Chains A and B, each alone.
Chain A
Amino acid sequence: MSESLIEESILSRPTYGTLAIAPGLAHYFVADASGAECVIRVAQAAPKGFMEKVHILYVPTPGENALITALYALGAKRFEHFPTIDDAIARLGDWLADAKMGSQLYLAGTEGLIGQAVAKGEECGLDHTAVQCEHRGSLARRVQCVHCKTMIEKVTTQPVKCPSCDLLLLVRDHYSRRLAAFQGVCINAEDPTEEVEIREVFK
């Protein structure tokens, strides 16, 4: 069972499942700290010889080492970890550029990581049926300010102030897979003097 807490929403908002091994010649995993346990779960249930076809990219929480050790111990063909999602996604692009037909992509963790990896997979020509996602951890959102186009990472509040243009943005459920972001639209554009309470809602 997926442990994601995402409520039913509009149709552009992604939904996530539970990672399970699909037939494939190569298996690429990308996870952050909240998704590491999903990778370990899949690996432990895998048939003999599976890990020889597995490539893992990992984004640890700063200062955390136990999960790096645990993931390394799975014995994948390749295992690399990077301090930021951006770095890991760039590396995923390198790997997928050399990937063969029949490759599978498995993503686990927060929505920011999943979304950017899905977009990279699409960019690299991976069919969407070859991509699985399991959401874990924070519900923090990656938000694009529709006005100045700034990407705002790890948004937990509603509304959120754009750090670039200073507008107070309503975080919508409308989601772009290409941008891997939710849409942020000025919440008090009609009357900028309107005071709006900022609440923590994406925990």
Chain B
Amino acid sequence: MTIQFRNETFRNDFTYANSPGNIPRFPFPFPEDVYMYSTNVEPHHATRAGSPFEHAFDVDEHYVAEMKDRALVLADDPGRCQALPHMETAGWDFVELVMVSKARDYPDLFELTIDGDRWHWINKPLQIDDTFIFGDSSALPCHPMEYIGRQVQGDHAILDQRDGNLWLDAGIITAQADWSLDFDVGMNFFEWHAPVPLAHELGVFQRALKFLLSLPQGQPSRRLNWTLTVNPRLDTSPENYPKWGPDRTTVTPENIGEKIHLRVELQTFWRLPRSNAILFPIRTYLMAMNEVVTQPKWGRRLHRVMRDLRPELVEYKGLSRYHPILVEWLSQFDDGAPTSPGIFPD
């Protein structure tokens, strides 16, 4: 498999787009015509060749551009990457998991040679060729989490497990849907989810925590989460809210198809072998409304989901300003026909 990496931006001129062949592999997050919170977790098995669920860490045409955007964010705000002192072993677990997975799943792009403690890693798309002693952080230019986090798409949080809870004790977070690592680092599972409406009352987080605490090694899980973002902007952090907030006032019925992006997080959960921590990758996929509706099933379903979305969620997800015109715009793609179950296009 050869991937043509796109040269594109997630800021300023926003040249990000999905090539036609990339659209059907988008992880559309709605398996039904209606959306409500659920602990929609399933095993992270290899599913459907060509889909984002085929490999442990999906690499797609946006890889190189996303890593460039991450470097820009970190240069501007080093606080987006933080690890409490006890999280170094977990950082090395993360290094191992990504390198072993990518070298196995994309042998034409990544190579890993292990000779005892001596590791040789080649990342061809990013032109990295490094040799280091595994576990010796002094041999790396930065914390092991940051080193590998700059080479893998998606934000990554690492959760320490103790006292029957999970603690957000490390992360490299540059493409977040409006939450601050700098503020949340060190919080437990319930604390960092505290601002989420409705879900606590539904018991979603209690169930999710119970599940995650007993997550076994070698049996990763996944779920999808979603929101909408105006413009294909990865860095929608609270830190930079004054930069991206005004985008929400620029949506008109004429530009809505290109401006509004369905923003999907493929969240996976991995028990790490040395630290017993949980690696929590939050991989973001962006797709413009114009691209989404090229798949008739998705256009119909997205209209129904948006039309019937609970008001609390419209507010929490920050859609209030343009929600009515979006529903109106989407209605032209909904002919009332039934939709097939599941997320994949027909």
Chain A residue contacts of B210, Cβ below 8 A: none
A183 → B minimal CB distance (Å)? 5
Assess the A186–B242 pair: CB atoms within 8 A. Answer: yes
- Which residues of chain A are within 8 angstroms of B324 by Cβ–Cβ distance? none
- Which B residues are CB-close (under 8 A) to A144? 183
Which of A12, A147, A186, A189 has a CB less than 8 Å from the CB of B191?
A12
Distance (whole angstroms) from the CB of B208 to the closest CB of chain A: 14
- Interface: A10 (CB within 8 A): yes
Q: Which residues of A contact B238 (CB under 8 A)?
A: 146-147, 183, 185
Q: Which of A153-203 contact B (CB under 8 A)?
A: 167, 172-179, 183, 185-186, 189-192
A123 to chain B, nearest CB (A): 10
Q: Is A41 an interface residue (CB 8 A)?
A: no
Complex contacts, B334 vs chain A, CB 8 Å:
none
Interface of A is mostly: loop
- Cα–Cα distance between A191 and B242 once the two chains are bound (Å): 9
How far apart are B326's CB and chain A's nearest CB, in angstroms? 16
Q: Select from chain B the residue with minimum beta-carbon distance to A148.
A: B239
Assess the B242–A178 pair: CB atoms within 8 A: no
A185 and B241 contact, Cβ closer than 8 Å, known pairs A13-B194, A174-B195, A191-B249 = yes
User: With A147-B241, A186-B242 in contact, do A11 and B180 touch (Cβ < 8 Å)?
Assistant: no
Least CB separation from B196: chain A residue: A10
The residues of B that contact A146 with a CB separation of less than 8 Å are 180, 182-183, 238-239, 241
With both chains docked as a complex, state the minimum distance between the C-beta of A147 and any C-beta of chain B, in angstroms.
6
- Residues of chain B in range 232-250 having any CB-CB distance to chain A below 8 Å: 238-242, 245-246, 248-249
Who on chain A is nearest to B189 by CB? A11
Instruction: Report chain A residues within 8 Å CB of B242.
Output: 147, 167, 186, 189, 192
Interface size class of A (residues with CB under 8 A): 20 to 34
What CA separation (Å) do A146 and B183 show in the bound complex?
8
User: Is A78 part of the contact surface with B, judged by Cβ < 8 Å?
Assistant: no
A178 touches B194 (CB 8 A): no
Q: Does the CB pair A176–B241 fall under 8 Å?
A: no
Q: Write out the residue numbers on chain B whose beta carbons fall within 8 Å of the beta carbon of A178.
A: 185-187
Determine if A176 and B183 form an interchain contact, defined as CB atoms under 8 angstroms apart. yes
A100, CB-defined interface residue at 8 Å: no
- Enumerate chain B residues within 8 angstroms of A10, measured Cβ to Cβ: 194-195
Say yes or no for A149: interface residue by CB 8 A criterion. yes
Contact A174-B241, Cβ < 8 Å, known A11-B200, A189-B246, A190-B248: no
The closest CB in chain A to the CB of B193 belongs to A11
Q: Does B321 lie at the interface of the complex (its beta carbon under 8 Å from any beta carbon of A)? A: yes
B242 nearest CB neighbor, chain A only? A189
Minimum CB distance partner of B191 in chain A: A12
Given the known A-B contacts A149-B182, A185-B238, are A12 and B248 also in contact in the complex, defined by CB atoms under 8 Å?
no
Q: Are B187 and A12 in contact (CB under 8 A)?
A: yes
Most chain B CB neighbours (cut-off 10 Å) among A172, A178, A192: A178
Q: Chain B contacts of A177 at CB under 8 A?
A: 186-187, 191
Mask for A46-75, Cβ within 8 A of B = 1, else 0? Answer: 000000000000000000000000000000
Is the pair A176, B194 in contact by a Cβ cutoff of 8 Å?
no
B333 beta carbon closer than 8 Å to chain A: no
How far apart sit A72 and B245, CA to CA, in the bound complex (Å)? Answer: 53
Complex CA distance for A189 and B241, rounded to whole angstroms:
6
Closest chain B residue to A14 by CB distance? Answer: B191
**Alpha-carbon distance A178/B169, docked complex (angstroms):** 11
> CB within 8 Å of B: which residues of A?
10-13, 144, 146-147, 149, 167, 172-179, 183, 185-186, 189-192
List residues of chain B with CB under 8 Å of any chain A CB. Answer: 79, 180, 182-187, 190-195, 200, 238-242, 245-246, 248-249, 321
Subset of 8 A-B contacts with CB under 8 Å: A12-B191, A167-B242, A176-B184, A177-B191, A178-B185, A190-B321, A191-B249, A192-B242
- 5 A-B pairs with the lowest CB-CB distances in the bound complex, closest first: A189-B245, A12-B194, A178-B186, A12-B191, A10-B194
